[in-house]
Structure 1
């Protein structure tokens, strides 16, 4: 099964997605080193994150949902890279998929929609930090033209061990 055969709709995220998006993210908090958050969130704790991603502008939230059921299969975001004003034209991007959606092309659909949405925005570079190892994420980013620019060694500790984060960059 592919994302196309599952009839996936990619659209901007909305407030009614908050509970499902929080559940999806919490899976990665609990089960993986992909995010360095170590405590799960309630939907109310995640609300500021959701509200910081608008339907226009540099900071977007794109959601992939099954057509009909609207079950969330994943999401992609472009967020502030750093807080200082000189970084405003740079964004950090990420994709999170429901475990059952991995390998179906949903990440590709999400990034395609996200980068199309950013095409008319004043964004110069996109950055992605990928906790290592994560071959599927590395491949996804490389397919979209990201190039490796460096690795922070043992920068995060989770599950009793240290993890590297490889940084990737894409000109927009």
Structure 2
């Protein structure tokens, strides 16, 4: 169950008209914190992110499924692309996973380590993810970020960049 502050932050992002991925980011951030606190572990940064996205979908955030599924079976891929989130289906028709299965998955997560959400591994994951995107796509994202930052934010970012350059020199 997501924490109250996470649900409120996601709701605020939705009110502000931010994208579903931004709303879901709150849940992913919470999951990363859980791993760092030692509530459970994760095998990789991707696993922690996937758990967070799953929680977001259950909470009603309309996060789209992955476009190209790595699954070999076409039926699984079809189900993933057309499948509705748990929250949008009727509650009466959804089947709860057995207590034994839930217990097994939580125990398996508790056996995993915490290094998956270290700053180093998250940074490496972000770099790998960015490298898969085209140069124009990354540039467009940066331009959009600069536009939506506002004058004060841009000024602060410029000052920070100047400090970083000065430190590096």
TM-score by length of 2: 0.29
Write 1 or 2 for the structure with the bigger share of helix.
Answer: 2
Larger radius of gyration: 2
Write 1 or 2 for the structure with the bigger share of strand.
Answer: 1
